[in-house]
């Protein structure tokens, strides 16, 4: 009798598609901390997805007599580390910060005054850009004609912004703002 030689057992090689699938599944799992919050090891965690995540807007109340003018002030509060493009922007392809008021019977917009921008250099731009940062006021010259109804009302407005940080610009967004107006 001859000794029997056992052949080594060879396992089938995993298919590349299966390996890729397993890698994708393991990569999509995130480590959670004790408070069930996402791990801070991900540098993209907490980054805004669009401009309205980092810009807040409000308006101060304004009083105007019939057949007179007054200034409304719309305040932007831009989070630290971010900026929005000025109006007018440095380049035509940049989205300017823009305020648009809805029409209101008896009240008209004479003009809008955008603040003086700051000029700042960024690694992604070939020349310094005109931007707004921090707290910024936009002034709106309103006129109430003699047909304007006395009393308090809210003027509806929309603020369009595009926020950026030091490296990237986020999707533009539109914020609703209500301007408290009293006509005397």
Give residue-wise pLDDT tens across range 161-174. 999 998 888 999 99
Give the global pTM. 0.73
Query: Average pLDDT of 54-72?
Result: 96
Query: Average pLDDT of 127-140?
Result: 96
Q: Does the pLDDT of residue 6 top 90, yes or no?
A: no
Q: Does the pLDDT of residue 142 top 60, yes or no?
A: yes
20: confidence class by pLDDT, cuts 50, 70, 90: very low
What gap in Å lies between CA 66 and CA 129, rounded to an integer?
Answer: 41
Cβ atoms of 141 and 71 closer than 8 Å:
yes
Range in 3-17, 20-34, 78-92, 133-147 with the lowest mean pLDDT:
20-34
Query: Average pLDDT of 71-87?
Result: 97
Domains and CATH numbers, the chain: 51-183 (2.60.40.1250)
pLDDT of residue 145: 95
39: confidence class by pLDDT, cuts 50, 70, 90: very low
pLDDT of residue 169: 87
pLDDT of residue 13: 53
């Amino acid at each position: 009798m001859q000794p029997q030689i056992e052949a080594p057992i060879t396992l089938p090689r995993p298919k590349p598609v299966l390996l890729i699938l397993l890698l994708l599944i393991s990569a999509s799992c995130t480590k959670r901390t004790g408070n069930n919050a996402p791990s801070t090891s991900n540098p993209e965690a907490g980054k805004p997805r669009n401009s309205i995540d980092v810009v807040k807007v409000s308006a101060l109340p304004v009083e105007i007599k019939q057949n007179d003018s007054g200034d409304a002030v719309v305040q932007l509060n831009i989070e630290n580390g971010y900026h929005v493009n000025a109006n007018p922007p440095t380049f035509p392809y940049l989205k300017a910060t823009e305020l648009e008021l809805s029409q209101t019977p008896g009240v008209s917009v004479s003009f809008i005054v955008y603040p003086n921008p700051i000029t700042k250099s960024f690694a992604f731009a070939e020349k310094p850009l005109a931007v707004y940062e921090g707290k910024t006021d936009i002034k709106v010259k309103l006129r109430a004609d003699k047909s304007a109804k006395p009393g308090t009302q809210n003027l509806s407005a929309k603020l369009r912004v595009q926020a950026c940080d030091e490296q990237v610009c986020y999707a533009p967004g539109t914020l609703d703002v209500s301007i408290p107006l009293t006509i005397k």
